Amino acid sequence: MIARAGAGQRAATGPLRRLVVLRHAKSAWPAGVADHERPLAPRGLRDAPAAGRALAEADCLPDLALCSTAVRARQTWELASRQWGTPPPVRLDRRLYGADVPELLAAVREVPDGIRTLLLVGHNPGLEDLVLELAGDSLDDALDAVRTKFPTSAIAILALQGDSWDELAPGTALLTGMTVPRGKKKS
Report pLDDT digits (tens) over 109-153.
Answer: 999 999 999 999 999 999 999 999 999 999 889 999 999 999 999
In a domain, 11, yes or no: no
Pair 175, 157: CB distance under 8 Å: yes
In a domain, 80, yes or no: yes
In a domain, 159, yes or no: no
In a domain, 47, yes or no: yes
In a domain, 10, yes or no: no
Quick one: CA torsion of 172, 104, 140, 173, rounded to 10 degrees?
10
Sheet containing 117-122: give its strands across: 90-92, 64-67, 117-122, 16-23, 155-161, 173-179, 135-138
pTM for the complete prediction? 0.91
pLDDT score of 6:
42
Average pLDDT over residues 76-83: 97
CA distance 18 to 71: 25
Q: How many domains does the chain have?
A: 1
In a domain, 5, yes or no: no
11 band by pLDDT with thresholds 50, 70 and 90? very low
Question: What CATH number is given to the structural domain containing 126?
Answer: 3.40.50.1240
Q: pLDDT, tens digit, for every residue of 33-60?
A: 999 999 999 999 999 999 999 999 999 9
pLDDT score of 184:
87
Q: Which residues constitute the domain of residue 114?
A: 17-154+164-179
For residue 161, the cross-strand partners are 16
Dihedral pair phi/psi, residue 66, rounded to 5°: -110, 125
In a domain, 7, yes or no: no
Assess whether pLDDT exceeds 60 at residue 94: yes
pLDDT score of 75:
98
Pair 130, 105: CB distance under 8 Å: yes
76-80, 137-141, 173-177: which has the minimum mean pLDDT?
137-141
In a domain, 33, yes or no: yes
pLDDT score of 5:
41
CA distance 2 to 127: 17
pLDDT score of 14:
64
Query: What percent of the chain clears pLDDT 90, i.e. is strictly above it?
Result: 86
